[in-house]
Homo-oligomer: A and B are copies of this chain.
Amino acid sequence: MGVVKRILIVVAIAMAAVAVSAKDRGGLWGQRASLFELLPVDSTDIVFLGNSITHYCEWHELLGMQNVKNRGISGDVVDGFYDRLEPVVKGHPRKIFVMGGINDISHKLSADSVATLMANLLDYIIENTPTTEIFLQSALPINNDFNRFKSLTGTEQVVIDYNRRLEQLAEERGITFINLFPLFANEEGKLDPIYTNDGLHLLGNAYIKWRDYILPYVNR
């Protein structure tokens, strides 16, 4: 195969990757990210960064604080968080609570791969806004008995391994790791059916429990 042909193939693959990426960034992601670019963040703010589990709550109401800002996007992956960090870090918020990775895991990434993406994200935040206190929240247990998210079938151990890696990442960087997993797991290690109606997302009672658990970190 000639050099020109090889180069053309590489370019084609790169263009395809960009196209896929652009597609993933359309729809809801593009809508929310464009809103987040226009909503200012400042040094008194507490930002909740995440996927649907963060998105679907009303954090400022739950915590009773105007300066609490929801930066969740349903379906988002850790790399997606990264691509929309700029409007957050430039405001140098007081605190960032991060939760992510379950969508990456549903895309069949390994625990190590997702943890590496999360390490990247944390390092970007640390570098660009060193005054911000970061709280790294674990992934939550899932419950595949609901049989609603086929792409999560058999990923229970990945979630556990991923959370162990997150704990290490936090320790290495001197940031706070918040292990929410035991809070919501039943005796089988599954997301307790009292907290969910689909095995992945949370009912209101779970958000209350989550709030009560993180309140010391929010207020300190």
Contacts and interface: CB of A to CB of B under 8 A. Distances in A.
A26 interface: yes
Given A61-B69, A66-B60, A197 B26 contact: yes
A35 to B, nearest CB: 4
Interface string A166-191: 00000000000000000000000000
Given A35-B57, A35-B207, 12 more contacts: A27-B197, A27-B198, A31-B56, A31-B197, A31-B202, A31-B204, A35-B58, A35-B203, A37-B204, A38-B204, A58-B69, A58-B70
Given A58-B70, A66-B60, A201 B31 contact: yes
A36 interface: yes
A94 interface: no
Interface in A57-85: 57-58, 60-62, 65-66, 69-70, 74
Contact of A66 (B32, B66, B201): B66
Interface in A89-141: none
Copies of this chain, tallied across the complex: 2
Interface in A29-62: 30-32, 34-39, 56-58, 60-62
Interface residues of A, number: 32
Nearest to A69: B61
A8 interface: no
Nearest to A65: B66
A30 B56 CA distance: 11
Contacts of A26: 197-198
Contacts of A58: 35, 39, 69-70
Given A66-B60, A70-B58, A36 B204 contact: yes
Contacts of A198: 26-27, 31
A23 to B, nearest CB: 11
Interface in A2-29: 26-28
8 contacts: A26-B198, A27-B198, A31-B198, A31-B204, A34-B204, A38-B205, A39-B58, A39-B62
